[in-house]
Structure 1
Amino acid sequence: MYPEADAKTTVGDSSHDNSSVGTQAKPPRKGLWSVRHGLAFMLHMCNFSMYTQQLHLNIAITAMVNQTALQSQPNASVDAQDNWNATQEEVQARASTYNWNPELRGIILSSHNYGSIFAPLPVGFVAGVFGAKYVVGAGLFLTSFLSFFIPLSADAGVAALIVVRVIQGLSQDMVLTGQYSIWVRWAPPLERSQLVSIATSGAMLGSFLVYLVGGFICQSIGWPYVFYIFGGIGCVCCLLWFPLAYNDPKDHPFISADEKRYITCSLAQQDNLPGWSLPIKSMIKSKPLWAILISYICQYYTSKTILSYTPTYINSVLQFSVRDSGILSSLPFIATWITMMLGGLLADFLLSRKIFRLVTIRKIFTATGVLGSSALFIPLHWVRFSRSTTIVFLVLATAFTGFNQSGALVNFIDVAPRYTSFLKGFFQMFVFIDGAIAPTIGGILINQDSVLGWRNMFLIVSCINIIGLIFYLILGQAHEQDWAKEETVTHL
């Protein structure tokens, strides 16, 4: 629970973009070795493991599909095609392969989002009331355990594979949504961007590793081991999470008195205590929430498209082998991991030094991420004659998206800390809708035209991203909303 009103140490008014947070108690001299940063790194590993299991099918599917002939590519040499064909035959000899066309592959890749569209709302609500420890831990264990059954389900048929992926999606949602309720109790406002960025950047590190080694695993020992290995890593993370994670600093057995006092004083001026009632009418009327929601939808459409199709694009369009396409597909995500970490540190630095207001920081980082990535996605179709140039554009475009994490994607904690977990769950519903729609649309476009389909996909991604940015720049705010400060009569 949160400290009572008499424990508050507020100095000045906090109603203007949290600019007064710099006057709160000074942090204990522990830096990144504090317990709160340790918790962020634990969530970093949970997100790392969860994303390896969300994406292992994306890289494995290039080896799972029986590709007996290459489509003619104007930029492919005869030697490159012969080498690519030889590699495909080597991969297919190590495990079963399946006759899945591009449209069916798009459905399979998006299937883990189907059952999760409505799950985030109750997950976020329950995690906000009861805490994230068991919600996150149970979700991570279930998705890890189910990874062992993907090869069996693929042999049983597409329907069985989709069922397993749907259940995995539900359990992954418990990790994605539930973790945000932890920061309501653990994250001082001046460290909010860096703590959330450290935790969520684990997703990019997981994406990097699964693409880096996934193709090598498929080619050397067979694609089923991609699921066995990363499922096992997830089970190990569960063994560390349950004994070391705590929902509230006051319950942690190893936290120092200084750090506990610092967190308590930092959060004392915010009414963060979650409850059963929700100001639904006020949320619906809130323009800042609409700005965040639209930005969320648009940015995650881009994310889901790139996560799903980067390996396939490098493998089929640029005609790299399964192993090489996995390695090259990993590069955009390690670059994004770096920009997410640096973005969180830079955002908190700008806020603590009062260089910009919080709302300005959120909009600068969002604009940088959206405009930078869109400017590089649009010309991809016209630079594909050079494989090295295309890879550089892909890496830089994806890296720019990492700055969004310190912009609109964390903004909901600023405007309504009391309802952080519920709002994350609500936004996550639309993320899963993106996850269900984006790969399917991509598969349809590529199935219709193997060349222009890729061009159209990247153009659509860029246009959607820019539309979300416009809404956010016009309507976005960063100060705590009045309806989020206390319970009102407009509750659910």
Structure 2
Amino acid sequence: MPLGNGYSINSTHADGSEDDEPLIGSDAAVPPQCCSTRLNLAILMFFGFSVVYGLRVNLSVAMVAMVNDTDLQPALNSSTYQACPLPPGPDNTSDTFKQPEGVPQYPWDSETQGWLLGAFFFGYLCTQIPGGYLSGHYGGSIFLGLGVLCTAGLTLLTPLAAQLGSGWLFALRALEGFGEGVTFPAMMAMWARWAPPLERSRLMTLSGSGANFGAFLALPLTGFICQTLGWPAVFYICGGAGCLWALFWFLLVSDDPRTHRRISEEERDYIINSIGPQGTGHGWSMPFLSMLLSVPLWAIIVTQMCSNYSYYTLLTSLPTYMNKIMHFDLKSRKVFSITNVRKIFTLTGLLPGAACLVAVGYAGCSHILTVTFLTLTSTIGGTSASGVFINQIDIAPRYAGFLLGITNTFGTIPGVVAPIVTGYFTEDHTLAGWRKVFWVAAAINVGGALFYTIFGSGKIQPWALTEEERAEAEKRRRSIST
């Protein structure tokens, strides 16, 4: 229930001591989430980020079908290339990925493929910070919707760009990344206005898990489409899905609960009062120097870079590993404080995942063990979604979109580096080379987990307080001193 001063029992303390309150286990009465506007927003975001990651990873699988390996036959027939024997069965051969009649294939070597897979992230780096800044000022719905729509529209042009040449495809993928770069900062800016503090983990994890679901769905589905309809159909279907989702988004979503046409009065008041002054735009001026010197913010940045390295390694290179090394057929088959909650989920997501990642390299040619360890790596790593990946909204709710732009910019660097490093280690197409890939990714994961455990925080930072909150904190200090 709202208190007399306009704050809810769930609201952030004016002195920034939100971390003293339990994040799990509160008995406070709140409007039900079932069929609520905030839950509907999370579900729509879930499908939106499913589409976003489908648009991002489709090239990873389609690349196997787009490349004509017959032009690289000397390397493919060497003894070092066949790292694992072909599985038994009359249909299992080392022949190139067959395409329907008339579908083109291209003679791109492994280096060219690595650059094409990393091209998306060159553009993705550019719009994270501007997208977060503008979303925090104007609201995130327009930027998230346009980001997905523009990326989807460009995806429809992929077959044409590939036909024109690898340089054109590189430029197109970079432009797709440019458009998609605003989506996650815009999401964070929206949740800063929509997510009550005690529901942040649930709502943001639900919406963000669409990314993992999209990647999970896109990998096998893309292989099936490539085999049955040809690889160009992958980009037409993914692009069309993105355009359709954008239509629903613009019709149903509002930046702020105050302006939503269909929200109940009870839910609107609950959201506004529980978030308090932090649920407003941050204006044009920002405490840039304080952000630069903030240790908790750097803890998020470093940890996201480390975690994303292994994630992007798998996201961009896994289809090639499974096809070229394992010879898989791609067409088949408040109990705790905020700080403690974030660190627990981050550690449980990164450390066991790192161990499973190393185990992949030592699973030999066992398909069962390889799939098991890769599945465990992705599944366990998903728990960090409730840790470091939503920590920006804890330390500075008003600036959450902008901060996500900063952290995601740094976190995207591994998306550029990982495919290139993977291509370097796997030039000779051996299992030993891939073992190095997994070891490097696991070591970086462990380093990030340890760094975050030491320096991470869930407390709202002094530089993130509004003038109203600072005045309230000063009033409280004076009353205590007297």
Structure 1 length-normalised TM: 0.88
Aligned residue identity for 2:264: S
Farther-moved stretch of structure 1 (184-193 vs 439-448) = 439-448
Give the match's secondary structure for 1:383. coil
Aligned residue identity for 1:471: F
Distance across 2 between alignment mates of 1:371 and 1:418: 31
Give the match's secondary structure for 1:211. helix
Aligned residue identity for 2:233: Y
The alpha carbon displacement at 1:75 in A equals 3.0
Q: CA RMSD in A?
A: 2.3
User: How many residues were matched structurally?
Assistant: 456
Larger helix share, 1 or 2: 1
The alpha carbon displacement at 1:49 in A equals 0.9
The alpha carbon displacement at 1:13 in A equals 7.7
Residues 77 and 115 (structure 1), Cα distance of their counterparts in 2 relative to 1, 3 Å cut: closer
- 1:311-352, Cα deviation, whole Å (9 max, x unpaired): 11111111012313xx4xxxxxxxxxxxxxxxxxxxxxxx2x
Distance across 1 between alignment mates of 2:255 and 2:284: 18
Out of 371, 396, 413, the position equivalent to 2:393 is 413
Equivalent in the alignment of 2:450: 470
Distance across 2 between alignment mates of 1:115 and 1:457: 24
Equivalent in the alignment of 2:347: 367
Distance across 2 between alignment mates of 1:455 and 1:312: 14
Out of 27, 38, 57, the position equivalent to 2:59 is 57
**Alignment of structure 1 residues 128-139 onto 2, 5 Å:** 128-139=136-147
Equivalent in the alignment of 1:290: 298
Does residue 150 (structure 1) correspond to residue 152 (structure 2)? The answer is no
Residues 317 and 23 (structure 1), Cα distance of their counterparts in 2 relative to 1, 3 Å cut: closer
The alpha carbon displacement at 1:303 in A equals 1.2
Out of 188, 203, 215, the position equivalent to 1:207 is 215
Does residue 98 (structure 1) correspond to residue 94 (structure 2)? The answer is no
Distance across 2 between alignment mates of 1:196 and 1:263: 15
Does residue 27 (structure 1) correspond to residue 30 (structure 2)? The answer is yes
Equivalent in the alignment of 1:108: 116
Residues 270 and 62 (structure 1), Cα distance of their counterparts in 2 relative to 1, 3 Å cut: same
Residues 253 and 455 (structure 1), Cα distance of their counterparts in 2 relative to 1, 3 Å cut: same
Give the match's secondary structure for 1:179. helix
Residues 18 and 235 (structure 1), Cα distance of their counterparts in 2 relative to 1, 3 Å cut: farther
Aligned residue identity for 1:254: R
**Alignment of structure 1 residues 76-95 onto 2, 5 Å:** 76-77=85-86, 79=88, 83-85=92-94, 88=96, 90-91=98-99, 93=101, 95=103
Aligned residue identity for 1:298: C
Equivalent in the alignment of 1:7: 6
Aligned residue identity for 1:233: A
Task: Kindly indicate whether the alpha-carbon contact (under 8 Å) linking 2:100 and 2:229 is maintained by their aligned counterparts in 1.
Answer: no
Residues 275 and 6 (structure 1), Cα distance of their counterparts in 2 relative to 1, 3 Å cut: farther
Equivalent in the alignment of 2:403: 423
Give the match's secondary structure for 1:419. helix
Aligned residue identity for 2:30: P
Residues 204 and 155 (structure 1), Cα distance of their counterparts in 2 relative to 1, 3 Å cut: same
Shift >3 Å, 4+ stretches: 3-6, 9-14, 20-25, 69-72, 77-82, 269-273
Does residue 432 (structure 1) correspond to residue 435 (structure 2)? The answer is no
Out of 259, 264, 269, the position equivalent to 1:261 is 269
Equivalent in the alignment of 1:323: 331
Aligned residue identity for 1:26: A
Give the match's secondary structure for 2:107. coil
Farther-moved stretch of structure 1 (71-80 vs 60-69) = 71-80
The alpha carbon displacement at 1:271 in A equals 6.6
Aligned residue identity for 1:364: I
Residues 32 and 212 (structure 1), Cα distance of their counterparts in 2 relative to 1, 3 Å cut: farther
Residues 267 and 23 (structure 1), Cα distance of their counterparts in 2 relative to 1, 3 Å cut: farther
Out of 79, 82, 101, the position equivalent to 1:73 is 82
Residues 437 and 78 (structure 1), Cα distance of their counterparts in 2 relative to 1, 3 Å cut: closer
Residues 200 and 18 (structure 1), Cα distance of their counterparts in 2 relative to 1, 3 Å cut: farther
The alpha carbon displacement at 1:180 in A equals 1.1
The alpha carbon displacement at 1:167 in A equals 0.7
Task: Kindly indicate whether the alpha-carbon contact (under 8 Å) linking 2:345 and 2:383 is maintained by their aligned counterparts in 1.
Answer: yes
Give the match's secondary structure for 1:249. coil
Give the match's secondary structure for 2:126. coil
Does residue 381 (structure 1) correspond to residue 361 (structure 2)? The answer is yes
5+ residue gaps in structure 2? Answer: 469-482
Task: Kindly indicate whether the alpha-carbon contact (under 8 Å) linking 1:139 and 1:174 is maintained by their aligned counterparts in 2.
Answer: yes
- 1:443-483, Cα deviation, whole Å (9 max, x unpaired): 11111553222111100001111111111111111011111
Out of 176, 183, 187, the position equivalent to 2:184 is 176
Between the two proteins, what is the percent identity of the paired residues? 35
- 1:286-324, Cα deviation, whole Å (9 max, x unpaired): 111111111011111111111011111111111012313
Structure 2 length-normalised TM: 0.90
Give the match's secondary structure for 2:458. coil
Task: Kindly indicate whether the alpha-carbon contact (under 8 Å) linking 1:412 and 1:420 is maintained by their aligned counterparts in 2.
Answer: yes
Equivalent in the alignment of 1:306: 314
Give the match's secondary structure for 1:250. coil
**Alignment of structure 1 residues 319-358 onto 2, 5 Å:** 319-324=327-332, 327=333, 351=334, 355-358=335-338
Task: Kindly indicate whether the alpha-carbon contact (under 8 Å) linking 1:16 and 1:479 is maintained by their aligned counterparts in 2.
Answer: yes
Equivalent in the alignment of 2:283: 275
- 1:421-454, Cα deviation, whole Å (9 max, x unpaired): 1101111211222211111111111115532221
Distance across 2 between alignment mates of 1:221 and 1:98: 17
Equivalent in the alignment of 2:431: 451
5+ residue gaps in structure 1? Answer: 328-350
Aligned residue identity for 1:240: F
Equivalent in the alignment of 1:401: 381
Aligned residue identity for 2:291: M
Aligned residue identity for 2:47: M
Distance across 2 between alignment mates of 1:285 and 1:297: 18
Does residue 230 (structure 1) correspond to residue 238 (structure 2)? The answer is yes
The alpha carbon displacement at 1:150 in A equals 0.3
Residues 376 and 25 (structure 1), Cα distance of their counterparts in 2 relative to 1, 3 Å cut: closer
